[in-house]
Amino acid sequence: MATTATLERAPLGERELIVLMAMLMSLQAFGIDSMLPALGAIADDLGAGGNNRQLVIGAYFLGAGLGAVFPGAFADRFGRRPVLAFALVCYIVLSAACAMATNFTMLVAFRLLQGLCCASLAVVPAAIVRDYVGGDRMARMMSLIMMVFLVVPILAPFVGQVILNLAGWRAIFWVMALVGGGVAFWVWLRLPESLTPENRQEIRAATILKNMGAALSVRGAIGYVIGSALVFGSLFGFLNSAQQLIGESFGAGDNFAFIFGGAVLGMVLANFTNSRIVERFGARRVSHAALFVFIVVAIVQLISASQPDQSLWQFVPLLSASMACLGFIGANFSSIAMQPFQHIAGAASSAQTSLRMITGAVLGSAIGYAYDGTARPLAIAMLSCALLALAVVLFSERGKLFGRRQAG
């Protein structure tokens, strides 16, 4: 007979926490990036003309942004586990619904609803990490989470392409449901509740609005929220138009998964490097330097894209360099923005994630719809977003960059 001791769960260590948080976040990425090779097939099968195929991606982004407003407050009141459980069930059920969609409008509606209901998969992990750690240590942990998380965007197009070739685009959604079930079981089995009793917040409209307003009104944080929304909005624009740009403009559709995965690899390496240096140099110094490099790369990308004969092998290295810069920006900007809000981590993560996702979705859709058969609209957007990001970060830092790291 099993003893009480053998039935007790072993404590969740830092490595398992990192991997589990990455897997929760990666469900969102898998639901997007595995679709990319299939957008053409979906458009042909369900009669989506022109750039409308991008709505399969854009609707999910928009839903995730709108949905991110709500889960943080509930996570601050009822705990992290129940909110995650709801999102995981919705992820599984709505993936199955997408697989059975009979027309393009229905598919887009299910994707929008899936983004709305599953938004806490992007919100709650950051709150859980903030429950455990703060300061540059949080930036280090978020970098490691992002490093593991980014393995999924590398592999997802390969997986999507294989499934598409073997069983058609609908099977991709069935695999999404299966993967979601596996992660849900892991959460149920291993993830403890990290919200402490003293940090529980009441579910009152005034309290929620006060907490979320605080998360978006602190000068030292808001510039980093908007800045990350802008630079990642340009990335969302690439995701929306990637299949057309790589597959049609550059005629490399058969190698789409390899090219996309290679570009994302730069972000993985950047996050790994960031995890090793951020506690030494500080999140501000590292991310500010990366933002300046991003601007320089965007300028070169615009010059290259303005040439009438830009080749794939001119475009891809510059895109990879831009993504590598985002690897140094994303986790650091997010960690800096969360520093003042340990006592309302859920509400802060909701408000900040919602603003980032909605801004990114709108920008990404606009950039995607501006696709004209070349990489020039994307290059213009990347440079514009980077310069605006620099402006808002300067606002948060009162005009002084590369400041000292702050303890958390």
Summarised one tens digit per residue, pLDDT across range 242-251 is: 778 887 788 8
Residue type, position 380, single letter: I
Q: Which CATH number fits domain 13-194+203-396: 1.20.1250.20, 2.130.10.30, 3.90.1720.10, 3.30.1600.10?
A: 1.20.1250.20
Q: Rounded to whole angstroms, how far apart are CA atoms 286 and 276? A: 11
CB 52 within 8 Å of CB 43: yes
Distance CA 127, CA 78 (A): 13
CA distance 194 to 113: 28
Domain ranges of the chain: 13-194+203-396
- Which range, of 75-89, 170-184, 268-282, 293-307, averages the lowest pLDDT? 268-282
Sign, Cα dihedral of 246, 247, 253, 257: positive
CA distance 280 to 329: 16
What is the C-alpha to C-alpha distance for residues 337 and 384, in angstroms, rounded to an integer? 22
Alpha helices (runs of H) in 118-204, residue ranges in sequence order:
120-132, 135-149, 151-167, 170-190
pLDDT at 364 over 90: no
For the segment 314-347, what is each residue's pLDDT rounded down to a tens digit?
A: 888 898 898 889 888 987 888 888 877 877 777 7
